[in-house]
Structure 1
Amino acid sequence: MSVSIKTGIPDIFFLPEWAEAYESQDDGVAVSFEFAHSLGRIHYPFIKRLVPGTTAYFDTITPFGLNGPLITECQPGHEKDLAAAFDEAFQQYCTDNRIIAEYIRFNPWVGNIEHFGEFYGIDKRGIAMYVDLSAGDYFMDEFKSGTRQQVRRALKNGVTIEFDFTGETLDDFCRIYELMAKRNSIPEYYLFSRSFLEESFRKLAGKQFIINALHEGKRISTALMVHHGDYLHYHLAANDPAYFKFAANSLVLSEACRWGVDNGKKQLHLGGASTEPLYRFKGGFTKTEPLDILTGKKIRNAAVYEKISRAKVAADPETNTAHFPIYRG
């Protein structure tokens, strides 16, 4: 008899405590659907949300970040069979729990779309960039020459680095993040209160930390890093525009890479790039090809979904009907 391959939880975005920490971002409740089958096991964290304008219907979205259903144990060669059984079971779960629509932001480095993608409508929503920390000398092998010069410039200008593993520098993190948010008109979805971030340090203890860059004792650049397993993430970051000339953010990322290597991480994920300047900045730290961010959507109760969507469009002709689900457009 073949032995099941057990993989466990490879990345922080799949952890139940991650969903619990970020459930308020999507105005819902964190749920973990655990599917056990003779072929293996699947773990699926999601946020259950009340459908607007109703009192008894729900939809789901994966927690802030990139995750989705994940095979944690499987008989070799039966991944697709297990995924098909999961889809059938989750459909019944949705029926029983009055869930009418489901939206997934798949994790491109774990690659769970390989097993589940065929059951969803798939859209590309951008790219995810990362630094290969297993490349040997990341500074010379991954960083481009211009980025290496920026790191050296920060050091030459007397920029220093500190690590905060408890959240004691959150006041300065929030101060700098707010400066960045106002300057770049950051959407509300990406704004986080100090109390939210303080609570996240409690829920994700040992799995996140802040890297600060200082100039003459003043914190001028900051990044909130999160990690689990082989992966380290450049999760939230900001820079004081008054100190751009010191290139402190380049030193922050360089030191994040150093921490990752020292702590056995294989990849440092930089996130996406919504603007050309951001793409150029992040692209300076990596020579690897970016990964596609792919999302999945599925209607779990077509009759109710169509009824609610038609009512939304009738009440608001400016509804974005390309949005999924339509009634949230």
Structure 2
Amino acid sequence: MQVITHHEKEKWNEIVKSFSNWDVYYLCEYAESFMLHGDGTPYLFYFKDGSSRLCYVVLLNDIAEISAYKGHIKTGVYFDITTPYGYGGPIVEGEFKKRNQAKFLTELSQYCRENNIITQFLRFHPLFQNQVYMDSICEIFPIKDTITMDTISSDTIQKNLHSKNQNMIRKAKKVGVEIKQDNGERLDDFIRIYESTMDNNKASEYYYFSSDYYEFLRKEMSENVSFFYACKEEEIIGASIFLYNDQYMHYHLSGTQKEFREFASMNLLLYEAALWAEKKGIKQFHLGGGVSATDSLFKFKKQFNKNGYKHFYIGRNIFDEQVYNHLLQIRKMIDPKFNINNDKLIQYRKD
């Protein structure tokens, strides 16, 4: 197993792009964007075993920096790793069988113990269903469904739309909504609309991003990010950021002006984005899921493909059970009301 740091960006991206099914979530720049957001230090794990190999991205965090632990444990003693926001887990080449998994787990566990990494939390990739390559490596849990659009042709896109959604798209066009695309030249408009939407949704602080984050996407990921805007009479009433490569596109961040929701601008925006992806030769446009398994956001997304359900899984490793339990006991000591048997996968991280 090799561990590549974000300071080795060229080597990192060369490894990622050597896999035929690489995705934008595995690029060094994507991981760095979330380091900028405060999510940890990026590393790429790369493992080869004969003709089989895999790689995936993690962010390293000092557990002492979790707000509940500040002042109660020393910094630089205990760490954990997690995949960046979005989707991850391994991209694999060759048959990654049980014996390959066993070898990787041995090396991964040794590395983590030597570096005081207590746990690993993985968000797997719904399009890849790559949890199957880790079933002997970590505990795996199903979470919910996500939705993907097949963008192999405009006819396929149209055919998979629910009839209600087709009507909403026609409505948006009829009332004069137009969709425009650029590379971030109207970034201030996007931020304004996105943050207004987060305010209306009473979103947590995590979902607000600094201007540096957006500028990083725009400049460092210019070949993999696109901005779309829904406009009515030249006023921007909705906006979205999409991430993409030559095979996959992902719905990243989005916002809509509340007073204009009746115009179905996001229905039209996502439809036009799918057509844009088809013209670029992209085969899958992943919309993601909802906040919960069956909320209104998920119901909205599933209107774009009647047959587009993809299961989403998460996974964990506990590399040091003794320290893991010790951390739970410290939380209990700090807050007697803390439930050490909570439903969080990494229980000491329960808010």
Please confirm whether the aligned pair reaches a TM-score higher than 0.5, indicating the same fold: yes
CA contact (8 A) 2:129 2:311 kept: no
User: Take 2:166 and 2:328, find their aligned partners in 1: how far apart are those partners?
Assistant: 51
CA deviation string 1:101-121 (max 9, x = no partner): 110001121121111123212
Q: Counterparts in 2 of 1:109-188, with a 5 A limit?
A: 109-134=127-152, 137-165=155-183, 167-188=184-205
2:138 and 2:316 in contact (8 A); partners too: yes
**What amino acid sits opposite 1:203 in the alignment?**
E
In 2: Cα distance, 1:30 partner to 1:140 partner: 39
Q: For 1:122, give the aligned amino acid.
A: I
Alignment-derived partner of residue 343 in structure 2: 322
Note the aligned Cα RMSD (angstroms).
1.8
Return the letter of the residue paired with 1:276.
Answer: D
Q: For 1:23-56, what per-residue CA distance to the aligned partner results, in whole angstroms no more than 9, with x for missing partners? A: 2445310111222332432212100000123322
Change over 3 Å in CA distance of 1:108–1:139 after alignment to 2: closer
1:67 alignment counterpart: 88
Of 27, 30, 46, the match for 1:15 = 27
1:244 aligned to 2:261?
A: yes
Superposition deviation, residue 223 in structure 1: 0.7
Tell me the equivalent position of 1:298. Answer: 317
Summarize the Cα distance change of 1:34–1:318 in structure 2 as closer, same or farther, 3 Å threshold: same
1:288 matches 2:307: yes
**Partners in 2 of 1:215 and 1:289 — Cα distance?**
30
Q: How many residue pairs are counted as aligned between the two chains?
A: 320
- Match 1:211 to one of 228, 252, 255: 228
Contact 1:26 1:47 in 2 (8 A): no
Per-residue deviation, 1:322:
2.4
1:11 Cα offset (Å) = 1.3
Q: Which consecutive segments of 4 or more residues in structure 1 shift more than 4 A?
A: none
Cα distance in structure 2, aligned partners of 1:30 and 1:57 = 17
1:311 aligns with 2:330: yes
Structure 2 residues without counterparts, runs of 5 or longer: 1-17, 65-72
Classify the secondary structure of the residue corresponding to 1:119.
coil
Matched AA of 2:131: I
Tell me how far apart the structure 1 counterparts of residues 136 and 190 of structure 2 sit (CA, whole Å): 41
Q: Structure 1: which amino acid aligns with 2:159?
A: D
C-alpha separation between the residues in 1 aligned to 2:209 and 2:313?
Answer: 25
Q: Residue 133 of structure 1 contacts residue 267 of structure 1 at CA under 8 Å; is this kept in 2?
A: yes
Segment drifting more, 206-215 vs 145-154:
145-154
Which whole-Å CA distance do the structure 1 matches of 2:142 and 2:204 have between them?
20
**Is the contact between residue 42 and residue 86 of structure 1 (CA under 8 Å) also seen in structure 2?**
no
2:136 aligned counterpart, secondary structure:
helix
Structure 2 match to 1:232: 249
Q: Secondary structure at the match of 2:45?
A: strand
- Give the one of 274, 287, 292 matched to 1:270: 287
Partner secondary structure for residue 307 of structure 1: helix
Structure 2 contact 49–100 (Cα < 8 Å) conserved: yes
User: Secondary structure of the equivalent of 1:67?
Assistant: coil
Q: Does 1:255 align with 2:272?
A: yes
